[in-house]
Amino acid sequence: MSPVSRFLSLALLALVGCERGPAPGHAVVDFRHTREPVKTPVAAWKADGVSAEELKQRLEEMSPALRERYQTLEQKREYVEGVARFELLVQEAIARGLHDDPEVVASTKRALVSRLMRSQLDEARPPVSDAEVAAWYDSHQEDYVRPEQVRLSHVFLAAPKADAARGEAARVKAEKLLAEAKALPPKDFTAFGRLARAHSEEPRTQPLDGDLRYRSLEELGRDFGPEVAEAARGLVASGPGALSGVVRTEAGLHVLQLTGHQAALNLTLEDVREQISNRLAQEKRTRAWAELLAGLEQRAGFSVDAATLSRVHVDVSTPMRPPSGPPPGTIPAPTPSAPPPSVSLERP
User: Which is higher by pLDDT, 35 or 185?
Assistant: 185
* Secondary structure (3-state) at 89: helix
pLDDT value at residue 335: 63
pLDDT value at residue 328: 85
CB 195 within 8 A of CB 181: yes
CB 347 within 8 A of CB 259: yes
CA distances (Å), origin 225, targets 191, 265, 267, 320: 25, 24, 30, 63
Q: How confident is the model at residue 52 (pLDDT cuts 50, 70, 90)?
A: very high
CB 229 within 8 A of CB 221: yes
Q: What is the pLDDT of residues 140-186, one digit of tens each?
A: 998 999 999 999 999 999 999 888 889 999 999 999 999 999 999 98
pLDDT value at residue 227: 96
Q: How far apart are CA 245 and CA 256, in angstroms?
A: 8
Name the residue type at position 56.
K
pLDDT value at residue 20: 60
Q: Find the helix or strand (DSSP H, E) in which 309 lies.
A: helix 306-310
Considering the chain, what is the average pLDDT of its residues?
87
The domain at 148-263 falls in which architecture? Roll (3.10)
Burial class (CB in 10 A: 0-12, 13-18, 19+), 292: middle
Listed residue (187, 174, 169) closest to 245, CA to CA: 174
- Cβ neighbours around 194 below 10 Å, total: 14
- Bridge-based pairing of strands 48-51 and 41-45 is antiparallel
Q: How far apart are CA 338 and CA 330, in angstroms?
A: 24
For residue 196, is pLDDT > 60? Answer: yes
228: phi then psi, degrees, rounded to nearest 5: -65, -40
User: Which is higher by pLDDT, 181 or 6?
Assistant: 181
- Measured at the alpha carbon of residue 111, what is the angle toward residues 109 and 115, in degrees to the nearest 5? 115
276: phi then psi, degrees, rounded to nearest 5: -65, -40
Instruction: Count Cα neighbours of 283 within 13 Å in the Cβ-side half-sphere.
Output: 11
Instruction: List, in sequence order, every residue forming a beta bridge with 44; answer none if it has no partner.
Output: 49
Q: What is the pLDDT of residues 225-247, one digit of tens each?
A: 999 999 999 999 999 999 999 99
pLDDT value at residue 86: 94
Question: Rg of the chain's alpha carbons, rounded to an integer?
Answer: 36
pLDDT value at residue 126: 78
